[in-house]
Amino acid sequence: LLFLWSITVSIFGIGGLLGSSGSRYLTVKFGKKKCLLCNNVLMIVAASLMGCSKISQSFEMILIGRFMCGVSAGLCVPLHHQYVGEISPRKLRGFANSTSSFFWSLGKAIGQISGQRELLGSQSLWPMLMASCGLPALVQLLTLPFFPESPPYLLMHKEDQEGCKKAIRQLWGEGQHQAEIDDIMKEKATMKNTKILSVLELVKEPAFRWQLYMIVILTATIQLCGINAV
pLDDT in tens, 11-38: 999 999 899 888 888 888 888 888 999 9
What does pTM read for this prediction?
0.80
Name the domain boundary from 121, 147, 173.
147
Question: Which domain, by its residues, includes 143?
Answer: 1-147
**150/52 Cα distance (integer angstroms):** 36
Domain count, the chain: 2
Same domain, 143 and 200: no
Residue 157 in any domain: the answer is no
Return the exposure string of 10-34: e unless at least 16 CB atoms fall within 10 Å of the residue's CB, then b: ebbeebbeebbeebeebbeeebbbe
Predicted pLDDT of residue 187: 76
Predicted pLDDT of residue 98: 82
Predicted pLDDT of residue 152: 84
Of 37, 227, 71, nearest in space to 147 by CA = 37
Give the torsion sign (CA, 195, 197, 201, 204): positive
Name the domain boundary from 147, 179, 204.
147
Listed range (28-37, 48-57, 88-97) with the worst mean pLDDT: 88-97
Residue 143 in any domain: the answer is yes
Residue 190 in any domain: the answer is no
Predicted pLDDT of residue 204: 86
Residue 182 in any domain: the answer is no
Same domain, 40 and 108: yes
Same domain, 60 and 136: yes
Residue 164 in any domain: the answer is no
Residue 209 in any domain: the answer is yes
Residue 178 in any domain: the answer is no
Cα-based angle 59, 76, 84 (whole degrees, multiple of 5): 155
**Res. 178: pLDDT tops 80:** no
**Res. 215: pLDDT tops 70:** yes
Give 95's pLDDT tier (boundaries 50, 70, 90): confident
Residue 159 in any domain: the answer is no
pLDDT-above-90 percentage for the chain: 25
Same domain, 103 and 203: no
Give the torsion sign (CA, 84, 24, 156, 154): negative
